[in-house]
């Protein structure tokens, strides 16, 4: 799919389907660069409705196929979640969705602005 991200990373664990969103992949490559070119470990990318319900995802999740798989959850071993969040918030001031969860950072390319820490 790109230099640093593969199809295997974006498949739904439930049904093995995936949907490539070129804009999201472009942004992920950019994020990797602004985070120091450290590897990003993907927790979740594309989800079918069944898997999204199983993990307790939001009913309107940006990870869903029906929403175009516009989101990815990830972490970087060498960086704290707060550091990642701050760098992304600065880089994408006023756009996209960025959140911190217990075991990952959420990033999505929604058409609006959202920030949260769980």
pLDDT at 97: 98
pLDDT (tens digit, 9 = 90+) per residue, 1-11? 899 999 999 99
Exposure string (b/e) for 49-79, b if CB count within 10 Å is 16 or more? bebbeeeebeeebbbbbeeebbbbbbbbeeb
pLDDT at 108: 98
Mean pLDDT of 70-77: 98
Note the pTM of the prediction, 2 decimals: 0.96
pLDDT at 76: 98
Mean pLDDT of 23-30: 98
pLDDT (tens digit, 9 = 90+) per residue, 87-103? 999 999 999 999 999 99
7 in helix, strand or coil?
helix
- Catalogue all structural domains in the chain, each as residue range(s) with its CATH number: 7-117 (3.30.1380.10)
Distance in angstroms (rounded) separating the CA atoms of residues 30 and 12 = 23
CB-based contacts of 46, cutoff 8 Å, min separation 6: 10, 11, 12, 17, 18, 19, 63, 65, 69
């Amino acid at each position: 799919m790109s230099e640093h991200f593969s199809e295997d990373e974006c498949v739904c664990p439930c049904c093995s389907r995936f949907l490539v969103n070129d804009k999201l992949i472009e942004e992920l490559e950019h994020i990797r660069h602004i985070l120091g070119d450290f590897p990003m470990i993907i927790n979740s990318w594309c989800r079918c409705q069944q898997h999204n319900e199983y993990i307790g995802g939001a009913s309107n999740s940006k990870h869903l196929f029906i929403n175009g798989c516009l989101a990815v959850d990830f972490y970087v071993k060498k960086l704290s979640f707060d550091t990642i969040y701050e760098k992304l918030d600065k880089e994408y001031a006023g756009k996209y969705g960025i959140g911190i969860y217990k075991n990952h950072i959420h990033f999505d390319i929604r058409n609006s602005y959202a920030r949260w820490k769980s």
